[in-house]
Structures are given as C-alpha cells and as structure tokens.
Structure 1
Amino acid sequence: MCSQAPSYDAERVLVQAGPAVARHADRIAADLRRQQGSFGTAVGHGVAVRALALAGAGDLRALPALHRLAEHGGLPYMRTEARIMAALPPAELTAVMLTRLRRGGDDYHGNTTALDLLALCGAAAAPAADDVARRLDTPFAYDAMRVLGRIGPPAAATADRLAAYATARDQGPGGPWSRRAAWAHWKVTGDPTLALDVCGAAVRSGTASHGLPFLADLGPLAAAHAAPVRRLMESPGAWTRTYAAHAYWRITGDPEPAVPVLLAEVDPDWTGRPDLPVPEAVRGLGEIGAPAAAAAPLLRRILAQDERLAQPWENVRILADRAYVRTLTEALERIAPGGAQQS
C-alpha cells in the first residue's frame, strides 16, 4: 500500500486518516521498519509519514520512530497536524513530547506544539512538570501555565511562581496571562481564591472574555460573578457571547438563557474560519445536554452535509473536518442519545 513512494496527496491522507488506517497498520508498520533501515535510526520524511499514520491510529509501534524524530526535529510543527499523536496513550505521548522539549531549545513551534500536546495529556504529563516550569521564564510561559494547570497537584511546586504572575509581582505581562496563571494556581493548589479574584475582576470590567472560560471551569464556586457573566451574553463580540453563555450555565446550572445564545452562533454554512466560535458553541450545547434539544435538528443537518469546511488550509482540511464532525457528533449524542445515527 505505502511501499511505492506515495504521492504528496496520498501521504497527506495517510497521515490524517486516524483510526481508519488501523486495518492497514501491519503493512504500515512493516514499511516503517524498512524506511528506518537496518539500524532503525533513519528519521527522514518517509519515516515521519508512517510513524504519524500509526500514531493517529493509536498504534504503539509508532513510538520508537517518534522518539527518534523528536530527537532530530522531524515531528510536525503545526499544532493541528501534531495533534494526530494525541491518539496515543497520554503517558507514552508525554515521553515523546518531553524529548521534544529537551531537544527543542528556543524554537518557537517546537516548544508551543510540545506544550499544546502535553496539555492534552493532563495529569499524565506530570513527569514533564519540571521541564514545563522552566518555560515560565520564557516567551512560552502562557502555554506552560496551561500545561501546569492540567497537570494539577503534581505541579504544586510552581504555585508561588504562578501566584506571582497572577498578581503581577513578577513583572509578568498581566492581562490574559494573569488570568491563566490564577486559574493554574487554583488547579495546582486546590485553592480557588486567587482565580476568583483575578478572573472575576476581569469579567466585571466588561471587556475581558479571557476570564470567562476560567470562571466556567470554576463552576458554582464563581456564583458571585453570575450577574456580570450574564450581562456579557449580550456583548457585541461573538466569542464573548459564546464564552459568557457557557460560563453562565456552568456557574448557575440554568440552561434557559444560555441555549439561545449558543444556538445563534452555530452557523450551518460555517466554512472553518477560526475567527468564529462555531465549534465552541456546539461544544457548549453538548455540555448542556438534553435541555439543549432545540439544537438537535440543526446539528443533524450540518452532519448530513457532504462538505462542511472550505476555509482550512488544504494540508489540514481532513483533520479539521474530522475534528468538527467529532464535535458535532459528541454534542448530538449528549443532547439526544442515539441522535447522531439519525443524521
């Protein structure tokens, strides 16, 4: 299947196919071994294509090649494409990304992509906590905070530094950085006080949508901020309205005002433009579940379309469409169990 120097288009499909390649995994693994050579050390383009294809199917046979690629800079640099590897078990993915962090130096894409994937690993990324914490003194601090927050209590040693960022004692950049630092401080310590103060103040200002996702995560702990959050549901900004509706529901448990706001952002003709919060609105409706039943017919109609996205770059369109289909399907299953099969 893939031993005869596939074309660029064929390689792109192979890498982005995900679980669909599982039935060909033995042939891909055998071809990967040939590409690696007798010593198993080659790290060229052919190795990367086959290793990523296996990784997208969650096949552990990809790991030795991924480690070699991480050492020699052969992993994908775009976050969208790199997330293919998230199909691997989080502990194994953490080990690969830790190698990438340690070999990446000051490279922008190498650091931000590795940190993005480590954040997806959650608590399983704990072995990388010290290496991630070192990025708090670099331009990659914002991404590092997200990872530390997702790791949680095993990253508690970073609590003072996060608090310093959150309160700007540390000459931290402030703004969104302060809010993420405060959120991460809560996640690593279990104490929500700082996060409620910093993110609540941002939301009360009426201009800071960046505080809303963190208040949503705090849920009922943020009840004192429900009123300003609700006011932001009438903001002129689509992202702010979407974040506010989701946060209001998470804080209060009341879906009635949130569902119409979220549903209004689900454009059936969305082309994939990243400046519109369509997937976020769909996810929010899915989290609400059955009380968002009014959204089910629209989600089914979008799923039934032959083509959904025209905007993403050609080399990641399959990935983007697959992610959107997954978002729609998961939301519909939570709103109307079994409903995705009716589309």
Structure 2
Amino acid sequence: MTRPGSAVKAVIRYRRPDPECWEVVVRAACNPLGSSWDAAKTVAQAGSAVSGHADRLAKALATRLGNVEELALALAGMGDLRALPALRRIAEDDRLPYNRPWAPPIAALPAQELLPAILPGLRRESLQYRAGFVLELLAAWGPAAAPAVSEAVRCLESPYAYDALRVLGRIGPPAAVAANRLAAYATGHAPRTSRLHQRRAAWAHWRVTGDPTLALDVCGAAVGSGTAGHGLPFLADLGPLAAEHADTVRGLMDSPGAWTRVAAAHAYWRITGDPEPVVPVLLAEVDPDWTGQPALPTREAVRRLGGIGAPAAAAVPLLRRILASEERLSHPYDHVRVLADEAYVRTLTEALAQMGAGMARPVPAARRGLLRRWLAPSAAARPR
C-alpha cells in the first residue's frame, strides 16, 4: 500500500500520478484522528484533480475538525458550493490564505455569498497583508463585486491603489461613482500618482464610463513614447477603438523584450483582428521546456494564442506536447506547486479547446507502471 508521504511527493511532482496516489492523499487529509499537514496542503491546491473525492472532502469539512481551511479551499477550487459555510467562517475569523495565487480558486464561488464576510477586512484601519489578496479576488469577480465599490475607492488612498484601480475597472459601470477620481489619477492630478497609475486609471475610467477618450490619449501616448509595456494591455482591451495606434503597436512586436512582444502581438490582434503577423510572434515565446520562470511570458503567450482560436491552430501540436508532459512546473515551494501547475494546465486546455483541438492523450500504461515503482517503499526501487 502506498504511504501518504510517498503519495504526496508523487502528486506534487507528476500531473497524472496513479489514481491511488490522490486517494491516499485525500484520505490522509481527511483523517480527523491524525490528519497529515503535507497531505492537507496538497489537497487544498488540487482543484479538479480531486473532484472525484468531493463527497469525502465535504463530509470531512462538515465535522469542523482538523484541516478546515485546506478542505474548504479544495472544494472551492472545484467550484463546490459546500465550501461556502466554512469559507465564510474562515473569512470572518480573518484566516483566509491572503496570498494572491489562492484568489482564483475562491473566485470560482459566487461573490454574493462571500462578499459580506470578506469586505470587513478592507474596512479596517490597517490593511496590512490582506488587501492585495482581497483586491485580487474582487477583480476576479468583476461586476459581481459591485457591492465593494466604496471599499475599492477607499483603497485608492492606500499603497494598494494600483490594485484598487484594477478592481474598479473590472467592476465597470456600477463603479461610475468613482469616475472623477479615476480621471484625476489618469491626468496625474491625484496625490502620489505614477505613470503606471495613470494608464490603469485611464483604462478604468473608460470601463466605468464607456468614454474611451482618456484611455486612448493616456495609453496611446505611453505606447508611442517607448514606455510601451504598461500601455499595451489597455489598448488591447480597447480593441478596434485603438485603431489609430495599430502601426505603432505592430512595430513593438519586434521589441527586444519578450513580454513587450507578447503584449504587442495580443494588442495588434485585438485591434485589427489580423492573426497572420501575430501567431508567429506568440508561438516563438511558447517554450516547451518552460519551468514556470516568471521572467518569461510562456503562459501568457499560450493564453493569447487560445484567444485567437482556430487561426492559431499551428500551435496545437506544441500545446498538446506541453500538456502531455509528465512533470509539473517547478516551484521553490511545494505548498503552491500544484496550484501553479494546475493553472497552467487549465490555460493549455482552454487554449486547445478554443482552437477546436482535442485533449491530450492519457498517460501510457508503461508510464503508470513507472510511477508505481517510484512510489515503492524501497528507495532503491525509485528511478533516478
């Protein structure tokens, strides 16, 4: 029988371990008499990888014994509403993970169910470490986070102003009460306004008012001035409204910076709808050996290729090859390695679906046998 420690190592290292591994990890995380901390932290990240164990996780969570936070996060990551009561209690007790990578799994749950428990954290005098996470969560909810407009506006006076601008822009028209404040930021008249604030504020102003004038002026000037990287994503959102900047954007597809090339390619596609010059630029950044290094825009390039859809079908063989990889992305911390890799797997899967391509093939039987040998109790039996 596979030991919990070996099973945890296997599911952290491999995308498709033997099903017994997740069975062992879930059982260890749910054991109220001697639950495993490592197993619980791993299950919390797993999302759909443990969807077949949802009932067991929910039953263990209902006992309110042991790893409550981790079991709730595991259910949230698969969009299971049975996570809500526990997450509300956790939020009210100020025990949410408050780490940005955890925002997407929680955002899979309905905003209206969690906002009343989460917003008090933004109303406290000292925002401390919680604000970045909460604002990330509100931005992911978008218009559904409309009840949080006043809290987001308050954060404009904090060190988290850049995040707050994003939230207001994502909420859109329900945040129109903030239009004048956003215009002040966009034009540099608000205190402590940087150029980064100006561009995001101008974009947010367009999103809440529907008037693109300020966004086109501020973000267009940024792209034309050589400080392009932070203006391109906003021009991409503007799409055909930014047609006057198309030639400048296309020139930036030859930039020496990989992130700028990817952002310019995406913006050019959104502005013109022409995939021909865009797809090769994005494909060049899809490194099949990428290990998750944040300095490289590989995942972003995959996501943008998916947004193009069928015209980017030349990427299908490469994306299938990457998705079929056995080992997960590397990460210095095991407690978020599965989370990071599952996010990349979703990006790959969604991109292939948007291109009309099928899923990757299952793990060959020979490989499953290798995993079983790696999990053998004897270290000598593991492949080097």
Pairwise same-fold verdict (TM > 0.5): yes
State the shift of 1:159 in Å. 0.3
State the shift of 1:84 in Å. 2.1
| Conservation of the 8 A alpha-carbon contact between 2:319 and 2:352 | yes
The TM-score with structure 2 as length reference comes to 0.82
1:25 to 54, 74, 96: 54
Distance 2:142 2:283 in 1: 30
State the shift of 1:280 in Å. 0.8
1:141 to 150, 161, 164: 161
Matches within 5 A, 1:104-183: 105-183=125-203
* 1:86 to 2:107 alignment: yes
2:94 to 60, 64, 73: 73
| Conservation of the 8 A alpha-carbon contact between 2:155 and 2:164 | yes
Query: Match of 1:183, as an amino acid?
Result: W
Q: Which residue of 1 aligns with 2:122?
A: 101
Distance 1:51 1:99 in 2: 20
| Conservation of the 8 A alpha-carbon contact between 2:121 and 2:127 | no
Aligned length: 333
* Stretches of structure 2 lacking an aligned partner (at least 5 in a row): 1-26, 363-384
Matches within 5 A, 1:211-230: 211-230=231-250
Q: Which residue of 2 aligns with 1:40?
A: none
Change (3 A) 1:235 1:338: closer
Q: Which residue of 1 aligns with 2:290?
A: 270
Change (3 A) 1:17 1:311: closer
Of residues 306-315 and 160-169 in structure 1, the stretch that sits farther from structure 2 once superposed is: 306-315
Q: Which residue of 2 aligns with 1:41?
A: none
| Conservation of the 8 A alpha-carbon contact between 2:72 and 2:83 | yes
Distance 1:15 1:308 in 2: 16
State the shift of 1:64 in Å. 2.3
State the shift of 1:308 in Å. 4.1
Distance 2:140 2:332 in 1: 22
Query: Match of 2:221, as an amino acid?
Result: A
SS in 1 for 2:339: helix
| Conservation of the 8 A alpha-carbon contact between 1:94 and 1:124 | no
Q: Comparing both chains, which one has the higher relative contact order based on Cα–Cα distances under 8 Å and sequence gaps of 6 or more? A: 2
Could you list the per-position Cα deviations for residues 273-311 of structure 1 after superposition, in whole angstroms to 9, with x for gaps in the alignment? 111111110111111111112111111111111014113
| Conservation of the 8 A alpha-carbon contact between 2:51 and 2:78 | yes
| Conservation of the 8 A alpha-carbon contact between 1:312 and 1:320 | no
Change (3 A) 1:312 1:91: farther
Distance 1:54 1:24 in 2: 10
Q: Which residue of 2 aligns with 1:60?
A: 81
1:331 to 351, 354, 362: 351
Distance 2:202 2:102 in 1: 30
Distance 1:254 1:108 in 2: 45
Change (3 A) 1:334 1:30: closer
Distance 1:97 1:242 in 2: 35
| Conservation of the 8 A alpha-carbon contact between 1:67 and 1:99 | no
State the shift of 1:51 in Å. 1.9
* 1:15 to 2:44 alignment: yes
1:340 to 351, 359, 372: 359
Q: Percent identity?
A: 64
Q: Which residue of 2 aligns with 1:209?
A: 229
Q: Which residue of 1 aligns with 2:309?
A: 289
Query: Match of 1:143, as an amino acid?
Result: D
Matches within 5 A, 1:237-252: 237-252=257-272
* 1:233 to 2:262 alignment: no
Distance 2:352 2:150 in 1: 39
Query: Match of 1:47, as an amino acid?
Result: V
State the shift of 1:312 in Å. 5.1
